[in-house]
Structure 1
Amino acid sequence: MDERGRLKVLYVEDEPDLRERIRIVLEMYFETVIASSDGKEALALFDREHPDVVVSDIKMPIMDGLELARCIRERAPETPVVLSTAFTDTAYLLQAIEFGVSAYIRKPLDCRELVAAVSRVAAPVLQRRELEEARRREQVSLELLLGESPAIQRVIQQSRRVAETDFSILIQGETGVGKSYLAALIHGLSPRRDRPFVTVTVSSLAESLVESQLFGHVKGAFTGAQGAKRGLFEEAGGGTLFLDDVDCASPAIQAKILHAVEQKWFFPVGGTVKVQIDTRIIAASNRDLLVDAKDGTFREDLYYRLSDLVITLPPLRERGRDIALLARAFLNEISLELSRVPPRLTPDAILLLSRQPWSGNVRELKSVMKRAALFAGETLDAEELAGILSSLKGGADGFGVPLTLDELTRQAVQQALVATGGKKMEAARLLDVEYGRFKRLLERYRL
């Protein structure tokens, strides 16, 4: 079971048959699933069981889902809530946003969409758990967590030094190199480690709601804003706000981020009272933002505000012996979860690993090792590893040269569109790609 699976989910639904069907599905993906028939009972279960994520219907007797979300927000504001309903009235969506609901799923439920939503909103929960575990170990060894190759040593040195400061950090690197993981490690090493670490993927925010999500709003700021809501800048107060895919922010949002970072205050949407903040910013992008700034596609003044220090994470193919080190670490970690003895990597398997282009970087390597941990015997040799690589890449055969990154990406996008009948949002979820990035891929490949 991967880390995502080690979650406790509370599922609330008043219809018995649906409640049982969805409970069974959720138990296939998550470690513990607790079911409840109404909001009042669910609230008692929440107080007793302390679930990581709550999934609830809206229209229920005794206490509806919106009231349940409000009560949970008061008790544990960091617990994500996912609401589901057959009703399409946007007033429900606005109220859900008002109560800090993390996601909104329409009925009839698509199980894949539900599992993806729970996994997505649980990411900050898992990050906090990782940080707590790191603190319990008292001392974080970046070499063990990141690697020991010359290419990564500069990253380790920079991370250690900047962690003790309040400098803004810009982490750049290809998709899958571990930018969000490094940001969490830096926060865990910093004096702010006991304060919130809040992650937001800018490309995943709806354009009409992004300003309210980041900066909050006051009561009556827009239709349906029945109360004030704190934004993520304020939620991260005293801690760190990680802005992933910051290059996807619109010019207007870039301007407001710049003002907040420079002045340490901002106005919430519709507000006239300044909100003072003490929030460290770590931003990330898979683009070279200095080039974008010079081209005028990203604000140059914001670039320099975010880049007190730029850390460039090298791609896995440039990290030499880290490939074998990380492969063994992933095998050990996943085998432990599977309660089995880790397969031993043979020398020819290590050689094959070192010769791969790793277009998906560390994320791809971990995916390969998951498959290996599940199916390999006592040893993992080059022949068996080549079969795993071929099956995952969908085009490389045996020891042949794998497809290029462009070919793999285009093929994956095309296959996802076919599998979902051309439904773009479902295809993006199938590929585990943020929708904003998926749309850019469609434009790039003219699909």
Structure 2
Amino acid sequence: MIDLINGSRIARFALLAALSASVGACSTAAPKPDAKSALETDVTPASEQKIASSDELTQDMPEPDGASGDAAVSPSAESKLSRGFISDLESALRSARSGDRNGAVDRLQNLVSDADGGFLAAYNLGALYENEGDYANAAKRYSQALSKNPDFSPALLNLVRLYIRLDQPADARKIAQRYSELRPENMTHRAVALEVDLTEGKYEEVIRKAKQILRRAETNVEAMMVMAQANIELDRLELGAAILSRARELRPNRAEIYYKLGQIRIKQEEMDDAMVLLRRAIELNADYPEAHNNLGILYHRAGDYQSASDEFSAAIASFPDYKEAYLNLGNSLKGQGEFTQAVSSFNKALKIDPKYDKALFNLGVIYLDSDIEGVDKIARLNKSIEYFDQYKAAAASKIAKDDPSDKYVREARKSIEDEKARQEMMRQAQMQVDDEGADVEDDGESFEE
């Protein structure tokens, strides 16, 4: 069974959006029998990846100014942008999409000082840095965007989600509260603050607060998103889908809506519909790692390991620290018989999180039942035992009663003894052949012409 964790409460939507999307809208082999789920969708934080606290990020920033409002950008923000700025921003984004990273950074840095549109340049710099895994600079740029335009909710959303992903929920809450209090009439800021409550499992509270927001701003899509996710977590799937359908009417080009609808369809075992929705999410947002990952899982379930590998690789390209995607890629490579590459992918997941128990478990499994190039059988089986021992230490209290790791260790030890016995038998047989050969050469007979 594959354990799918629905929702995107810590998903990344810091993408290089076109101007029209940036203004007024948020971008946002079969498993061994009895083995644990190998594939997963949850994105968990890397334990060593810390960024500056919310206080450190804002202590040197000037007090933001600008009109408050209900939208992500004040109504006049887009109209203030000069044609030259718009052209330069679009040029920078084209550079980023074409792979000219340095050119994009240079162009965006030159635009940050623009009095009216600098917040968009800072925001997209943050998105670019986040895509590269440079979270410290991403956080600084998102904070800079908020300083320049304190009503720009997409920057707040990305910053809050970045803190959550890096296991800094206190900073996520603090920065969300700071801007919610600074701009009390900005209902989208209030909805963003509920992201932290989602991660803490306060689903009923999220629903209650989201309803309060919607009473004041009935078309606030961000409030709909968090309320839908809370209902999904509570297994109220039809209600969650209805809320998302309303959000889709308001923001038909927001990729996250299709992603969440896809997660509902997965829970309902409607896999064909889920694939369509996830593909649509990717069409709208090509750098959507969670959508690529979950589409890969559906391909893997269908036995299309090559397509699954392609999707997992795309997820990793968009989110370099996506350890779950590395784990999933390893299992799809294993399904294709690419055992050495699978081991490499599992090890990359461990490099991100050395105590990642699922990667340790799957390394134990692959060393137990697969031929690894350049590793003899006994060494391979000993390696399997080593990984299972590390897995048990890492998983600790999370290990279920029916966990199969002890059984696999016993199986590995028995296989080692069997292999040693086989090798000894072969050695004895070879010695016998050698002895018989020596007897034939020296049988006491002689010939004389």
Same fold per superposition (TM over 0.5): no
Query: TM-score, normalised to structure 2's length?
Result: 0.28
When you count helix as a share of all residues, which structure comes out higher? 2
- The higher relative CO (CA closer than 8 Å, separation ≥ 6) is in 2
Query: TM-score, normalised to structure 1's length?
Result: 0.28
Larger Rg: 2
